[in-house]
């Protein structure tokens, strides 16, 4: 199944002053913001309150983050029946996220039937991945029938980080964005284009995460199936019972770090496994870029874990990457962007606050632009 272009509108046509409600529905969280440009007018606690605020301020559109756009929803796209059907069909690939996003779309449509809704897929940033990076070495018939490819995720966060990097380090060509949170991935960005990323056909691949295992030998999973582990049990384990949770009993990185500081053996092992995978995949991304100009760390862990940032830089120390220890210790709860580059570092190291809402709003404005003229 080839990537289709019909749901890939042109970018850059939106009015930056259009008011937008952004809905970012996760597996266990809901982030809501009403924006006027980049100014946050309100952060409602729930969707009902968000709808009331949207009506009061007169939003022109509502933007929804969806994790997986699949082979047809390739960018910010106006919601219609075909789009909803395509997104619903991807639910088995992201069972912990897609249903929440679809439920949000349906609730907003019922409450604000005259306000256009736009979906903004996390996969959009990676649509142009080079074929060598996106194509799995699996039978061609499978690839054609089921659209098997590396889709990549966290694209909204990566796009925002790249915009902030461009403003802070003009001319930087080789940017490695580390989105480190409950879900985590690395993206190699060359001249603004994704050229490699650690998540694949689904968001389970790559780094060790809060509840997901990341990369694992597929032979292990086949063996488990042959041992009688059911598909549903295996799916639940990979999505919600692996990663830090499997190693330390919690997916909360701050808690894991506190326990490791108290010499808890499970937490210490969890940090070691997490660091080992992070360092290996950072090196892979740098190799894809052919060098490194900027390492940008974002997401809840990337923004708040001094230790994980030190680990990331240490993994690239052989390439001359350094962080400033004092600046790194201060970089907790970053409001926008903080430079933690160490003296003599071969690349800039930046901590960037994740603002997926800004990218969602930009997508809404780009889609609505042609309809408003």
Q: Which residue is it, tokens 């190291």?
A: 349
Can you name the residues that pair with 177 across neighbouring β-strands?
187, 296
Strand order in the sheet with 77-78: 39-42, 30-36, 19-25, 61-66, 117-121, 77-78
Query: Token digits for 102?
Result: 């679809």
Out of 122, 196, 205, 366, pick the active-site residue. Answer: 122
Q: What is the rounded distance in angstroms from the CA atom of residue 28 to the CA atom of residue 181? A: 13
Q: Residue 255 contacts by C-beta under 8 Å, 6 or more apart in sequence?
A: 248
CA-atom Rg of the chain in angstroms: 20
Is residue 122 part of the annotated active site? The answer reads yes
Query: Token digits for 359?
Result: 């990218």
Q: What is the rounded distance in angstroms from the CA atom of residue 270 to the CA atom of residue 210? A: 10
Q: Which of 106, 95, 31, 104 has the alpha carbon at shortest distance from 68?
A: 95
Catalytic residues: 122
């Amino acid at each position: 199944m080839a990537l289709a272009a019909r749901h890939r509108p042109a970018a850059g046509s939106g009015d930056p002053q259009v008011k937008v409600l952004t809905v970012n529905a996760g597996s266990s969280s809901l982030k809501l913001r009403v924006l006027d440009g980049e100014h946050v007018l309100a952060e409602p606690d729930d969707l009902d309150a968000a709808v009331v605020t949207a009506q009061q301020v007169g939003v022109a559109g509502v933007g929804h983050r969806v994790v997986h756009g699949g082979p047809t929803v390739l960018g910010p796209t106006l919601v219609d029946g075909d789009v909803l059907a395509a997104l619903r069909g991807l639910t088995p690939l992201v069972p912990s996220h897609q249903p929440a996003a679809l439920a949000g779309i349906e609730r907003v449509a019922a409450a604000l039937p005259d306000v256009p809704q736009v979906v903004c897929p996390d996969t959009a940033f990676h649509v142009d991945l080079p074929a060598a990076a996106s194509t799995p070495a699996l039978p061609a018939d499978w690839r054609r029938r089921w659209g098997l490819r590396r889709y990549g995720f966290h694209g909204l966060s990566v796009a925002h980080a790249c915009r902030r990097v461009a403003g802070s380090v003009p001319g930087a060509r080789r940017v490695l964005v580390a989105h480190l949170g409950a879900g985590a991935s690395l993206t190699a960005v060359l001249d603004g284009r994704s050229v490699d990323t650690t998540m694949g056909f689904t968001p389970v691949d790559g780094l060790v995460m809060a509840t997901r295992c990341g990369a694992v030998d597929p032979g292990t999973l086949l063996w488990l199936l042959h041992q009688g582990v059911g598909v549903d049990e295996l799916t639940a384990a990979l999505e919600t019972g692996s990663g830090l949770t499997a190693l330390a009993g919690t997916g909360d990185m701050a808690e894991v770090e506190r326990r490791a500081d108290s010499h808890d053996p499970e937490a210490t092992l969890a940090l070691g496994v997490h660091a080992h995978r992070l360092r290996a995949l950072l090196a892979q991304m740098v190799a894809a870029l052919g060098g490194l100009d900027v390492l940008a760390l974002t997401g809840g862990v990337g923004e708040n874990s001094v230790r994980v940032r030190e680990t990331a830089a240490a993994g690239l120390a052989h390439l001359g990457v350094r962080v400033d220890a004092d600046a790194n210790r201060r970089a907790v709860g970053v409001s926008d962007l903080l430079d933690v580059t160490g003296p003599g570092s071969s690349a800039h190291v930046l901590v960037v606050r994740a603002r997926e809402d800004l990218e969602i709003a930009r997508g809404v404005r780009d889609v609505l632009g042609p309809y408003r003229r």
